[in-house]
Amino acid sequence: MENDYSDITFRLLDLSDADDFMEWYSDEKVSEFCSWDTFTSKQAAMQYVADNVIPHPWYKAICLKNKPIGSISVTPFSGYDICRAELGYVLGSKYWGKGIVTTAVKMAAASVFVEWPHLERLEAVVAVENMGSQRVLEKAGFTREGVLRKYYLLKGKPKDAVIFSLLSTDPQVNYLMYD
């Protein structure tokens, strides 16, 4: 029987989702390009979620048929940079390659551009080796703006990163996905 990966919804992530989020927090394939190191205990992952996810201004669980399989966040800047926010996302590796994150990114973009009228630019910074993540953004209609050499430290090493952006005025934004 063919699996259906189209039932994608967002909700807030909760500490009671620990069994679900442990699936991606404990996965080396997932942590490779993330700022955090693979978690080996549920306690540690719950602490990370309590410190970083729960207080975050815009952080959602990506749910497939109501089960959290990953997460997506939009982190706003402030002051002169208030027109800008940074997108991040993570998905359990067994769900990779099915267009799930592309759908989630499109949904998230529509939501934040409506919820934050001052937001003009959604950007994402992706390590050059992370081809899967670059394809997500291209499919979601982001513009690839350039490669920033040795831009940030990933696990202590300077990394070249591709920067992508989506503007509130870009025709690729599908406001009909706003929920």
Partner 1 sequence: MDPSRITLRKFRPTDADDLFSWAGDDQVTRYLRWKTLESKQEALTFIEEVCMPHPWRRSICIDDCSVGFISVFSGSGEDRCRADIGYAVAVEFWGQGIASKAVEMAIPQVFQDFPELVRLQAYVDVENKASHRVLEKAGFSKEGLLRKYFYLKGRIKDLVVYSILSKDESI
Do residues 70 and 62 make contact, with C-beta atoms less than 8 angstroms apart?
yes
Residue 121 near partner 1 by CB under 8 A: yes
Residue 6 Cβ vs partner 1, minimum distance, rounded to whole Å = 31
Q: Which is nearer to partner 1, 18 or 163 (CB)?
A: 163
Do residues 122 and 113 make contact, with C-beta atoms less than 8 angstroms apart?
yes
Structure token pair of residue 166: 């989506």
Residue 163 near partner 1 by CB under 8 A: yes
CA dist 175 and 179 (Å) reads 9
CA–centroid distance for 104 within its chain: 8
Do residues 106 and 141 make contact, with C-beta atoms less than 8 angstroms apart?
yes
Residue 151 near partner 1 by CB under 8 A: yes
Residue 44 Cβ vs partner 1, minimum distance, rounded to whole Å = 20
Site for partner 1 in 67-86 (CB under 8 A): 80-84
3-state secondary structure of 70: strand
Residue 14 Cβ vs partner 1, minimum distance, rounded to whole Å = 27
Task: Enumerate binding residues for partner 1 (CB under 8 A).
Answer: 35, 80-84, 120-121, 123, 143, 145-154, 158, 163, 165, 167
